Structure 1
Amino acid sequence: MKNSMAKLSFLLFGLVLLLAACGGGNETSTESTEGNSGTNTDTEQPTDAKSFKVGITQIVEHPSLDAATEGFKAALEESGLNIEFVDKNAQNDQSMNTTIAQDLVNQGVDLIFANSTPSAQAVKGATSDIPIIFTSVTDAVGAELVESMEAPGGNVTGTVDLHPDTIANTVAFLKDELGAKKVGTVYNTGEQNSVAQIEQVKALLEESGLELVEAPVSTSAEVKQATESLIGQVDSLYIITDNTVVSALESVIDVANANQLPLMVGELDSVKRGGLGAYGFEYYDIGYEAGQMAVKILNGEATPAEIPAAYPANLKLLINKSAADNLGLEIKDTWNAEVYE
């Protein structure tokens, strides 16, 4: 009996050990499965692949700048890099613009995309270490963002938003096709990019025997009144790529339409909003090209100093048919224009 009980006890002890071993085996198998799953995931997205934080600072919301930001993001997203975007918009507030620049630097972002001249100037003043890519900048050299277009130097490069022929073509169109003699303009004297453009416009108008009548503003709330002040003094309007005015462009369009004044604008999105015409390009494209520059920098292929700043390509004339009809203006084949309806 004792032997039988001993044998039974031994068998029961062995069974307990066997069950424990099986249980331990299952736990090990579960950990291994999780590990294999992680390994498979790591094959698709390696755990040692670097992720990047990219800051975006934009001076104000309007279609052209928004399109440039969209193009920039698209280029980075298509690159396959692991990107976290930190989006900031200053709502045309210079104090906030400066605060945003410092905040992005304090966050330790890997690269900053500055959309507009004021945005780029603010971030350049905040850091000399973090790479900066700009777009929607009219005069990168004059704004002291780069040493030259060909050799930017420092930590800044990007794409400008003024084709060398834009203003000259617009002035010629105002004179030859619209018969303008006195051209009115509204712009923010506090925007360096605007001042640079106005200087070119004035010089070219004077060379062509035309006169420029200026109505300066400092905020978008002043745009309508400034435009109205030009009535009776001018026979046409020309709005450059001024961020303050373009953000309130509908005010200018309303005054122009009410007074039957042709309104030439500085970029294509403003034509789609109601301007008569513009020699321009797609802001999405210059944003996309800026994004391609950013990819090279994040991949370690080049530094900002090694990437030439770029002018926009594919300059074209776009005419708004409704605006032309309102003026009783025939769209001529000789203009070689695209028509927005």
Structure 2
Amino acid sequence: MVGKKISILVSGLLLVSVLGGCGNTKASKGKEEAKENIIKIGITQIVEHPALDSAREGFIQALKENNYEEGKNVKIDFQNAQGDMPTTQTIADKFVNDKVDLILAISTPSAQAAYNATLKAKCNIPIAITAVTDPVEAGLVNSLENSGTNVTGTSDAAPIDAQFKIINKLVPTAKKIGIIYNTSEVNSEIQVEEAEKFASDFNFKIITQGITSENEIPQALESILSKVDVMYTLKDNMIASAMPIITKECFKKNIPVIGAESAHVKAGALATEGISYHQLGYETGLKAVKILKGTKPSEIPVETQKETSVVINEDAAKKLKIQILEELVLKAEMVTGGVE
């Protein structure tokens, strides 16, 4: 009987240790750190490329404008997984062990790793997400309106129908749309499904080629380019990192590339109608401010950016000998670059 009591007491102490050791309040972190009043934020990013970097910069800007500034009252630990999935989990576990006050997860894999790490540790560190296409499908929240978890933030769901309209206007004869995507990223699979759903509205046929690593992209392009009129590049981290290779090979075949976001266009794609990742990160930063002031993540809806903008690469249009309609020129941001 005494042994049972001791066992129950030890189990209870262990449970308190696990739950208390991973709290996100200053009270749970000790008197010394509370005196310093420094907020620890861990930022985990799957890979560095312009869109995700821009989201991170927007997040930090929102914090600064609301008096949460690195070097004053905020300490940021930025970790980049360099595209390696297991590393995302290592980073997330590190942040949990470091007992950060908030995690910013940029990309679907980074967000899933952070969420899994807090679940495993049975703790409630708030997670702000951005550049996640479908947080519900990714298992991060129960719904966009009421997450029911320690996660909130913004979704970068692309207006694929608007991007298909751009194809119709710039390449009116196009019928076969090629898509290369990472088969191990749920974010990419969701976009492929969306593209196939909208394709019939435009009389498009979607031709896909799955890859598992960036090294497979040249071979995938060789296989798919002879079958398509236009390449459509998803918001896929692997694809984003390989845009120079993709545009170079497409130019050789005189195949236009329509991107899912502006960073693709600046890297040589012809055009897009999409969101601003800087603004997306900024909006996530505003949600993080609410969390730091005491609001629970589950009480803050996950939102998508409603405003979109058209971006056209003048150099790509000239190389492809495509005439840009005046109606597009008047409303578009015209950029150059990414064309050899």
TM range (shorter): 0.7 to 0.9
- Measure, in 2, the Cα distance between the counterparts of 1:308 and 1:322: 40
Is it true that 1:115 corresponds to 2:106 in the alignment? yes
Q: 19, 39, 50: which one pairs with 1:63?
A: 50
Which amino acid counterpart does residue 117 of structure 1 have in structure 2?
T
Conserved 8 A contact 2:176-2:206? yes
**TM-score, normalised to structure 2's length?**
0.83
Residue correspondence of structure 1 range 86-97 to structure 2 within 5 A: 86-97=77-88
Deviation at 1:313, TM superposition (A): 3.3
Q: Which runs of 5 or more structure 1 residues have no equivalent in the other structure?
A: 1-46
- Measure, in 1, the Cα distance between the counterparts of 2:164 and 2:205: 11
Deviation at 1:314, TM superposition (A): 2.1
Which amino acid counterpart does residue 250 of structure 1 have in structure 2?
P
Deviation at 1:78, TM superposition (A): 2.5
- Measure, in 2, the Cα distance between the counterparts of 1:278 and 1:270: 8
Residue correspondence of structure 1 range 1-341 to structure 2 within 5 A: 48=35, 50-81=37-68, 82-128=73-119, 129-163=124-158, 166-178=159-171, 179-300=173-294, 302-335=295-328, 336-341=331-336
Deviation at 1:176, TM superposition (A): 4.5
- Measure, in 1, the Cα distance between the counterparts of 2:54 and 2:311: 17
- Measure, in 2, the Cα distance between the counterparts of 1:210 and 1:292: 39
Q: 1:32 corresponds to which residue?
A: none
- Measure, in 1, the Cα distance between the counterparts of 2:243 and 2:87: 22
CA deviation map 1:205-242 (0-9, x unaligned): 13322111111111112112211211211111001101
Which amino acid counterpart does residue 42 of structure 2 have in structure 1?
G
Conserved 8 A contact 1:77-1:83? no
Deviation at 1:315, TM superposition (A): 0.3
Q: Which runs of 5 or more structure 2 residues have no equivalent in the other structure?
A: 1-33
**TM-score, normalised to structure 1's length?**
0.83
Deviation at 1:144, TM superposition (A): 1.4
Deviation at 1:86, TM superposition (A): 0.8
Conserved 8 A contact 2:166-2:273? no
- Measure, in 2, the Cα distance between the counterparts of 1:197 and 1:231: 20
- Measure, in 2, the Cα distance between the counterparts of 1:316 and 1:181: 24
Larger Rg: 1
Conserved 8 A contact 1:268-1:318? yes
Conserved 8 A contact 1:175-1:181? no
- Measure, in 2, the Cα distance between the counterparts of 1:273 and 1:231: 19
SS at match of 2:304: coil
SS at match of 2:138: coil
- How many positions carry a matched residue from both structures? 292
Which amino acid counterpart does residue 133 of structure 1 have in structure 2?
A
Give the aligned CA root-mean-square deviation in angstroms.
Answer: 1.4
